[in-house]
Amino acid sequence: MTVLALESSCDETAVAILRDGALLASEVASQIALHAATGGVVPEVASRSHLIMLRPTLDAALSKAGISLAEVDAFAATRGPGLATSLMLGMSVAKGLAVGFGKPFLAVNHMEGHLLSPFFGKGGPSPAVGLIVSGGHTMLVDITATASYRLLGQTVDDAAGEAFDKVGKLLGLPYPGGPNVNRLARDGNPKAIDFPRSMLHSDDFAFSFSGLKTSVRYLLPKLAETPLADICASFQEAIVDVLIAKTIRAARTTGRDTIAISGGVSCNTRLREKLTAACEKENLHLLLADPTLCTDNAAMIGYVATLRLAAGETSSLTTDIDPNLRLVV
């Protein structure tokens, strides 16, 4: 079974081709340079770029995989969540290809793509606690099997990725802020500033990072003499401590012995380092998605589509985009 998947939920134009679950090609056209001037994603600019880049990205993926569109058995695209004008383009192309070649179409939840990406190439999903930590989402999910999920908790305000990017902007760092905060933090002292750990000891699995961002904002005038690396390291440590504590507690509560972490922020080196150590201490198995599968990509969308096809599922061509699509209803 050969699946061609498109991802266009936000500011990455991506196309991937999988055959029997093996990745033949994964192409991503980044828009970082386009949005750097505004320090954030402008929906109209993003959709225009998708319109321009979808065809060449599709051609590049087909060339790398060494196949033609006629050899594809099913077409998939991200349905949501994401920017409506961006989602519409990827879905429209995938539907058009499905109709043109008389093949099945699958509409995939972007968050399910992230959630299952740590299982890619490992024989399929197994029971685990999944931590999705991306630009717009921070959530803990109890995974039983494909399409069998229970939301344990999520952010009540800013997601971890949003906090990273907004604080990066406050510190005058290049867009996107998250990776640059991480880069500077490597040379900083994570104990230099005692930033708040919001909801660290709450009796639930909810997260809150808005207060931390505000704390950085109001403390900045008093930190003029503090090395930027120390501010980044201390801020980063506050986020990482909360993510790890809640995730380990979720594993204990659910009885799961595996933790699967995904999303763009899961590329953060400090998070990976400390979570690896915490899982070893708690005798938990840790699954980390490959960095190429952490940021927005079509391979994870194709992976979910492949699993759905194997279960005999397809989507109707009347399925519409849903910018607010939930992982668990």
Query: What integer pLDDT is reported at residue 123 of this predicted model?
Result: 83
The band of 37, judged by pLDDT with boundaries at 50, 70 and 90, is confident
pLDDT of 80 reads 98
Cβ pair 118, 287 in contact under 8 A: yes
Is a pLDDT exceeding 70 seen at residue 316? yes
pTM of the predicted model, to two decimals?
A: 0.95
What the chain holds in terms of domains, given with CATH numbers, is 2-115+294-310 (3.30.420.40), 126-288 (3.30.420.40)
User: pLDDT digit string (tens) for 258-283?
Assistant: 999 999 999 999 999 999 999 999 99
pLDDT value for 306: 97
Alpha carbons 154 and 3: distance in angstroms, whole number: 31
Question: Does residue 329 carry a pLDDT above 80?
Answer: no
Cα angle 33-84-206, degrees, rounded to a multiple of 5? 90
Check if the beta carbon of residue 118 is closer than 8 Å to that of residue 183: no
3-state secondary structure 175-242: CCHHHHHHHHHCCCCCCCCCCCCCCCCCCCCCECCHHHHHHHHHHHHHHCCCCHHHHHHHHHHHHHHH
List pLDDT tens digits, range 39-89: 889 999 999 999 999 999 999 999 999 999 999 999 999 999 999 999 999
Question: What tens digit of pLDDT does each residue of 170-197 get?
Answer: 999 999 999 999 999 999 999 999 999 9
